[in-house]
């Protein structure tokens, strides 16, 4: 099966600019996650979708970050305006369903964002 | 302190066993996981253990869980150079829609 696809792989922007990341989950996976991984830290959940509805966005900085999952498939994560501390790898993951141990998360390779 | 803690670095000789340790604070976690991340790649699930288990073995991997001490370990037998990567411990949040809390990761370096 094809894995989780993310683009772009790398992005360099100046602070206060905007940026968008795209994710295509594994076909049939109902749950989609966006994680932020700052260098030297573990991934931190930003937002979780079940189909096209948000089930957890408690750690999403909503003043500058937004995400959507149109038609319950692809998803985009946007940052506007970017700050230096947003430099990180943004990982998208999907799972067949939520809340089950035997529905593991499958991660994409991530987008590495550098804000200068 | 951090929710899930790991030592940052481990160096082993090829062929030896590696033991990566993890401690966590929330005893209500139902499942605990080990993920592997190779350079430039996403995270790959290695194994998981249910909180009512003490041990789980899967080929070269052995997971030990000490619930009393909230301590989780991953043992890799016959460590190979291909095992060099960052290993993340994660706990599942109870009722949290499959939400995972990750540690900072342990970088495993395997040398000849």
Cβ-based contacts under 8 A for chains A and B: 63
Closest CA to A107 of B49, B91, B45, B99: B45
Q: Which of B8-12, B22-26, B98-102 has the lowest mean pLDDT?
A: B98-102
Using a CB-CB cut-off of 8 Å, the residues of chain A touching B30 are 101
Closest-CA distance of chain B to residue A101, Å? 7
Using a CB-CB cut-off of 8 Å, the residues of chain A touching B39 are none
Using a CB-CB cut-off of 8 Å, the residues of chain B touching A42 are 4, 88, 90, 102-105
pLDDT at A107: 92
pLDDT at A3 over 70: yes
Give the confidence band of A99 by pLDDT, cuts at 50, 70, 90. Answer: low
Task: Write out the two tokens for B92.
Answer: 């599942």
pLDDT at B73 over 80: yes
Query: pLDDT (tens digit, 9 = 90+) per residue, A32-90?
Result: 999 999 998 999 999 999 988 999 999 999 999 999 998 889 999 999 999 999 999 99
Contacts of B37 (CB under 8 A, 6+ apart): B43, B44, B85, B86, B87, B88, B105
Which residue from A44, A98, A107 is facing B98, i.e. has the nearest CB?
A98
């Amino acid at each position: 099966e094809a894995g989780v696809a993310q683009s772009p792989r790398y992005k360099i922007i100046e602070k206060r600019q905007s940026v968008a990341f795209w994710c295509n989950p594994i076909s049939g996976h109902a749950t989609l996650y966006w994680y932020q991984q700052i260098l030297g830290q573990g991934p931190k959940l930003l937002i979780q979708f079940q189909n096209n509805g948000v089930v957890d966005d408690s750690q999403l900085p909503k003043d500058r970050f937004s995400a959507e999952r149109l038609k319950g498939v692809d998803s985009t994560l946007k940052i506007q305006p970017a700050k230096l501390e947003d430099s990180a790898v943004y990982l998208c993951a999907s799972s067949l369903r939520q809340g089950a141990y035997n529905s593991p998360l499958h991660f994409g390779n991530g987008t590495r964002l550098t804000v200068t | 302190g951090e929710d899930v803690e790991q030592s940052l670095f481990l160096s082993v000789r090829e062929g030896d066993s590696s033991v990566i340790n993890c401690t966590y604070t929330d005893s209500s976690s139902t499942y605990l996981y080990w993920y592997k991340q190779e350079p430039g790649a996403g995270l790959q699930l290695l194994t998981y253990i249910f909180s009512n288990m003490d041990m789980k073995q899967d080929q070269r991997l052995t997971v030990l869980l000490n619930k009393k001490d909230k301590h989780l370990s991953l043992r890799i037998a016959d460590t190979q150079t291909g095992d060099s990567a960052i290993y993340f411990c994660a706990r599942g949040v109870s009722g949290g829609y499959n939400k995972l809390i990750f540690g900072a990761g342990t970088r495993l370096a395997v040398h000849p």
